[in-house]
């Protein structure tokens, strides 16, 4: 870890999130947003959807690799990821689309079960604010004991995941160009994205896994997206076009896939 990110890493480890204002230019974000909406429109047209209510897509960057793959080589973004998770951190997936209405409280992974650190870097392509589609989080809820207490309160009917009024709620406003890093165990939601909603995309990352269950977790994470969601993440092109830093971020995942194929005889990709 470089001293440049020491303060941000401490804040991230303590509270479960960190904000990096104007990491990208608004023009760059708009370029990505237009490409994202071309993907959304193409897939909606294929499915016969009318586009109402928004649409969130898993593994969308593979739909336009010429535009999106270079993000995985961008030193500005990779410096943030390395600053928070370590230089040996890994890329593990992505998602994005147009999000409208409310998103109840949820986590991406179960914080009760483990202390393995994974994070999501979020890019809002439209201005968002409190009650207008911004990310809401419960600070420190990535910590296992707190996450356990929140789950118990929901089961007991003390807290309602469909209500924005959870204790400790923090609203994170954003303008295009900001990057928000969120621990995937953190409790989060969004409320009040009006009309067509806001355009958003996200890249997922993980600290380098220890042999054993952490590698098994990453294998399961990849399996879920490939075989349950039917979304290919680690394509031949992703590796073939990789610069040195992207290659370092994905090489371990290819090893995990190869090990699983050898052990099971099943072709994962």
Distance in angstroms (rounded) separating the CA atoms of residues 131 and 184: 22
Domain residue ranges in the chain: 3-264
Q: Which range is least confidently modeled, 160-169, 200-209, 219-228?
A: 219-228
Query: Do 267 and 261 touch, CB atoms closer than 8 A?
Result: yes
Burial class (CB in 10 A: 0-12, 13-18, 19+), 231: middle
User: What is the rounded average pLDDT of the residues 141-167?
Assistant: 93
What integer pLDDT is reported at residue 255 of this predicted model? Answer: 81
- Of the two residues 228 and 211, the one the predictor is more confident about is 211
User: What is the rounded average pLDDT of the residues 57-83?
Assistant: 92
Look at residue 114 and tell me whether its pLDDT is greater than 70.
Answer: no
Q: Which range is least confidently modeled, 20-24, 87-91, 170-174, 222-226?
A: 222-226
Distance in angstroms (rounded) separating the CA atoms of residues 202 and 204: 7
Look at residue 38 and tell me whether its pLDDT is greater than 50.
Answer: yes
Q: pTM for this structure?
A: 0.88
CATH architecture of 3-264: Sandwich (2.60)
Q: What is the CA radius of gyration of the chain?
A: 18
Token representation of residue 225: 């997206």
Residue range 182-206, pLDDT digits in tens:
999 999 999 998 887 899 999 999 9
Distance in angstroms (rounded) separating the CA atoms of residues 174 and 106: 20
Look at residue 108 and tell me whether its pLDDT is greater than 50.
Answer: yes
Angle between helices 75-85 and 6-15 in degrees, nearest 10: 60
Where residue 221 falls among pLDDT bands split at 50, 70, 90? Answer: low
Where residue 224 falls among pLDDT bands split at 50, 70, 90? Answer: low
Residue 72 Cα distances to 62, 78, 92, angstroms: 12, 7, 11
Look at residue 128 and tell me whether its pLDDT is greater than 90.
Answer: yes
Look at residue 268 and tell me whether its pLDDT is greater than 50.
Answer: no
90-106 vs 118-124, strand pairing mode: unpaired
Look at residue 59 and tell me whether its pLDDT is greater than 50.
Answer: yes
Most confident of 113-117, 188-192, 207-211: 188-192
- Of the two residues 99 and 177, the one the predictor is more confident about is 177
């Amino acid at each position: 870890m470089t001293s440049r990110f020491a303060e941000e890493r401490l804040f991230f480890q303590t509270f479960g999130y960190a904000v990096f204002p104007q990491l990208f230019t608004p023009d760059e974000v708009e370029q990505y947003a237009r490409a994202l909406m071309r993907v959304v429109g193409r897939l909606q047209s294929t499915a016969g959807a009318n586009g109402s209510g928004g649409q969130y897509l898993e593994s969308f960057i593979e739909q336009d690799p010429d535009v999106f793959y270079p993000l995985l080589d961008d030193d500005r973004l990779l410096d943030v990821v390395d600053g928070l998770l370590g230089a040996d951190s890994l890329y593990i997936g992505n998602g994005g689309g147009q999000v409208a209405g409310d998103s109840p409280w949820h986590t991406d992974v179960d914080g009760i079960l483990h202390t393995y650190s994974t994070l999501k870097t979020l890019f809002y392509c439209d201005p968002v604010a409190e009650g207008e589609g911004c990310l809401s989080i419960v600070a420190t809820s990535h910590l296992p004991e707190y996450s356990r207490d929140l789950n118990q309160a929901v089961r007991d009917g003390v807290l309602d995941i469909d209500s924005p009024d959870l204790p400790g709620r923090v609203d994170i406003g954003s303008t295009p160009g900001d990057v928000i890093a969120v621990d995937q165990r953190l409790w989060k939601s969004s409320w009040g994205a009006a009309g067509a909603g806001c355009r958003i995309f996200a890249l997922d990352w993980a600290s380098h896994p220890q042999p054993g269950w952490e590698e098994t977790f990453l294998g399961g994470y990849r399996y879920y997206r490939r075989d349950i969601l039917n979304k290919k993440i680690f394509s031949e092109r992703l590796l073939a076009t990789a610069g040195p830093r992207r290659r370092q971020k994905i090489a371990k995942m290819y090893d995990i896939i190869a090990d699983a194929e050898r052990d099971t005889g099943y072709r994962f990709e």
